[in-house]
Amino acid sequence: MTHTATATMTLEPQATMTLEPQTTMTLEPQRMRALERANEVRLARARLKRQIADGHTSAARVILDLPPEARNWSVRELLMSQRRWGSIRSRKLLAELQISELRPIGALTERQRRLLAGQLAADEPELLVAAY
């Protein structure tokens, strides 16, 4: 006498998760505020890039003043926003100062910020005094 076991598998509909209307109502304004804030930062950063490219603001001044929109900006992006600064020139300067290209400006130490600003402001004496 042999017994054979047969297994039957029933497929149940996939569970779906629904949010209560109250939860949706509180998430949506928060999401919209976050999107608005991200847009404000992008616009401010674009404005700052234009000011640097046009010569109205220097990269050294941005490094020393550290405006909120520049805190998460990579050092490489800041350097490359200047006229006549490409990836090779930026990479050389940062390698000389032992600073990672991808490091956010806000994560630089005070010493690194002063060194970098000093190098960038070599032709702007008023910034050299402020950097040291």
Give the model's confidence band at 11: pLDDT under 50 very low, under 70 low, under 90 confident, else very high.
low
Give the model's confidence band at 127: pLDDT under 50 very low, under 70 low, under 90 confident, else very high.
very low
Class of domain 36-131: mainly alpha
Above 60 in pLDDT, residue 112? yes
* Tokens linked to 19: 């949010």
In terms of C-beta distances under 8 Å and separation of at least 24 residues, what long-range contacts does 68-74 make, across chains too?
68/41, 68/44, 69/41, 69/44, 69/45, 70/45, 70/105, 70/106, 71/104, 71/105, 71/106, 72/104, 72/105, 72/106, 73/45, 73/104, 73/105, 74/101, 74/102, 74/103, 74/104, 74/105
Q: What are the tens digits of pLDDT across the range 18-77? A: 555 554 556 689 999 999 999 999 999 999 999 999 999 999 999 999 999 999 999 999
- The residue ranking higher by pLDDT, 127 or 100, is 100
**Apex 72 CA angle, 66 and 78, nearest 5:** 70
Query: Is-contact 63 105, C-beta < 8 A?
Result: yes
